Amino acid sequence: MKFLQNVPPFLFFTGKGGVGKTSISCSTAISLADEGKRVLLVSTDPASNVGQVFNQTIGNHITKIESVSGLSALEIDPQAAAQVYRERIVDPVRGILPDDVVRGIEEQLSGACTTEIAAFDEFTDLLTDASLLADFDHIIFDTAPTGHTIRLLQLPGAWSSFIEENPEGSSCLGPLSGLAKQRERYAQAVAELGNANKTRLILVARAQKSTLTEVARTYGELSQLGIKNQYLVINGILPEAAIHNDKLAQAVYQREQLALANIPSAVASLPQDRIILQPVNLVGVDALRNLFKADVPLGNAEHYDLTIPPIDPLSILVEQIAKDQHGLVMLMGKGGVGKTTLAAAVAVKLAEKGLDVHLTTSDPAAHLENTLHGKLPHLEVSRIDPEAETERYRQSVLESKGKDLDAQGRALLEEDLRSPCTEEIAVFQAFSRVIRDAGKRFVIMDTAPTGHTLLLLDATGAYHREIAQKMGSNGHYITPMMQLQDPQRTKILLVTLPETTPVLEAGNLQEDLRRAGIEPWAWLINNSLAATGTTSPLLRHRAVQEIKQINLVKEKYATRLALIPLQEEEPVGIERLNKLAE
């Protein structure tokens, strides 16, 4: 592997959700540790599953991996980091400032913005802590899906300029005067990221047009940040030897080869590695050690039992949804499981019944128009664009609160609106508008990957608590959280793949939702090989491993369930989306 030659101290893996960043970063960590290197593997993903991969609890502290000598790991838990951050800010002023002022600071520090900044604060510590590099030869970062990673990497510069322009006041970060002390540390973090002798960034993609387009965009954005030491890894490629006169395998192979022949020019010249599709799920050290091998032996696939329990197609669930005539349908799950495609399929099916449908996304990396590839009567398509929503919110505040202010007051208001926390408020407002729209028609929402979605729900919950506290038992009100908790108004569809890690993560998400008083309505198992009848030995080997996960979802997790087979043709365009729903 080219990216494993002359490895610098810091390695970053980034890319669209579901491309295999965690598997490759874990395999890299094992490879370096096997060479006798001291390695720290860090996950900055809010929905980290590194602990599941190694089958041990890791958490928010450096933990030795029991099965690999020389390897330690750390999962940055955003919620735990936020609690530590809040205590660090608030504890020094308790008993000094009036109680109502302390409560005001706590309220400012309760939002999702603070959670993200707290996680970033830990990330910065890792980049700038000289003692860590004395303890470890390499620090490997398994980063979050692309949109979250870009935001994380942009923060050092954003916060530095915000501190510089806003010496007074406070925000969800806490009192800004205290942040000035961290400016030097943030500047050092930016320098480390741009230093080719210190940092290498590996863009991970699949042999698919969408993920290759995504890494090309990421490459451009990171290059603008001064991070230019980048490599490209294309993961999970179906080898020609696996076709075996199988129609599905032939279709997948041809689709992937076309994508590989048309790699975007921006990244085509980067140092490149290709990793073939493995016959097993990449959980456990033995499987991870085989990831970079070109040939993994298969058993006799012809005798595998691929019997699956009776499960409805997606169209049956859509029929049940249609009976309500309107409402919010939210698709949630791990990045890369196909939420965008399935959201579009549900929307197309409802619109073709003559129902009024609004299809929207809160995922910064989603492109619904590319999935639909056409227009349909009764179907409106939109996107919650964080930049556009932030600008809309800024203008609204300036026009309302700012209209009667003098020049100095307006300047102070504009300074406050430059806070990165403004985006959180703006996106939440857009989310609330979408929820209200579901009172008169169907709103199908393709959400961002799990961690980001939970941060949005956190903001929704904080708003609900604030309104409930103000209104008490005297007033009648319906908050967005109350609508999400009402099964008559909202249906949550959890999307997963028939694989160990996505199923575990969807199960964890279900528990998180239940703690918030939200009960998922159904599960969708997407891209199933077991449901296709494939004869390819490699694909059958993977298919037989799906049976256990399909049974687990049916028996343990889901009250309603649909199984969607892997498609021969990429499900793009209204006709193919219709076929997918059948």
Q: pLDDT for 495-520, tens place per residue?
A: 999 988 788 888 988 887 887 788 99
How many structural domains does the chain have? Answer: 2
Q: Do 273 and 338 fall into the same domain?
A: no
The pLDDT of residue 24: 94
Q: Do 319 and 260 fall into the same domain?
A: no
Joined together, the tokens standing for residue 490 give 């909202």
Instruction: Dump the DSSP string for 200-230.
Output: EEEEEEESSHHHHHHHHHHHHHHHHTT---E
Q: Do 253 and 350 fall into the same domain?
A: no
Cβ within 8 Å of residue 247, ≥6 positions away: 568
Residue 336 lies in a domain: yes
Residue 36 lies in a domain: yes
Q: Do 258 and 149 fall into the same domain?
A: yes
Q: Do 430 and 560 fall into the same domain?
A: yes
Q: Which domain holds residue 207?
A: 7-83+115-290
Distance CA 426, CA 6 (A): 44
Rg (CA), the chain: 24
Distance CA 557, CA 510 (A): 8
Residue 410 lies in a domain: no
Catalytic pick among 14, 15, 16, 20: 20
The pLDDT of residue 297: 59
Q: Do 576 and 438 fall into the same domain?
A: yes
Nearest Cα to Cα of residue 26 among 57, 61, 72, 62: 72
Q: Do 222 and 363 fall into the same domain?
A: no
- Name the residue with tokens 């989603």: 366
The pLDDT of residue 167: 45
Catalytic pick among 16, 17, 22, 334: 22
The pLDDT of residue 515: 79
Residue 103 lies in a domain: no
Neighbours of 11 (CB within 10 A): 24
List Cα–Cα distances, 124 to 78, 115, 168, 188, in angstroms: 14, 14, 23, 9
**What separation, in Å, do the N-terminal and C-terminal C-alpha atoms of the chain show?**
42
Q: Do 220 and 369 fall into the same domain?
A: no
Distance CA 448, CA 362 (A): 6
Catalytic pick among 16, 17, 23, 402: 23
Cβ within 8 Å of residue 229, ≥6 positions away: 8, 196, 199, 200, 201
| Last residue within a domain, chosen from 290, 305, 327 | 290
CATH of the domain at 371: 3.40.50.300
507 is catalytic: no
| Last residue within a domain, chosen from 256, 290, 324 | 290
The pLDDT of residue 421: 60
3-state SS record for 427-448: HHHHHHHHHHHCCCCEEEEECC
In three-state secondary structure terms, 354 is coil
The pLDDT of residue 183: 62
23 is catalytic: yes
Distance CA 318, CA 315 (A): 5
pLDDT in tens, 360-384: 887 666 667 778 877 889 999 888 8
Find out whether 75 and 52 touch, Cβ atoms under 8 Å. no
- Element (H or E) spanning 51, and its range? helix 50-54
Find out whether 164 and 186 touch, Cβ atoms under 8 Å. no
Residue 213 lies in a domain: yes
- For the chain, which residues score pLDDT lower than 50? 145-149, 163, 166-178, 450-452
Residue 40 lies in a domain: yes
Distance CA 528, CA 248 (A): 12
User: What are 332's strand-pairing partners?
Assistant: 494
532 is catalytic: no
Residue 241 lies in a domain: yes
Name the pTM for this structure.
0.76
45 is catalytic: yes
Q: Do 236 and 332 fall into the same domain?
A: no
The pLDDT of residue 176: 44
Q: Do 377 and 278 fall into the same domain?
A: no
500 is catalytic: no
Q: Do 339 and 204 fall into the same domain?
A: no
Catalytic pick among 124, 501, 532, 534: 501
Distance CA 522, CA 520 (A): 6
The pLDDT of residue 473: 57
Q: Do 426 and 527 fall into the same domain?
A: yes
Joined together, the tokens standing for residue 448 give 């961002």
The pLDDT of residue 180: 52
CA dihedral 506, 509, 510, 512 (to 10 degrees): 170
Catalytic pick among 17, 18, 236, 335: 18
List strand residue ranges (DSSP E) for 432-521, in order: 442-446, 490-496
20 is catalytic: yes
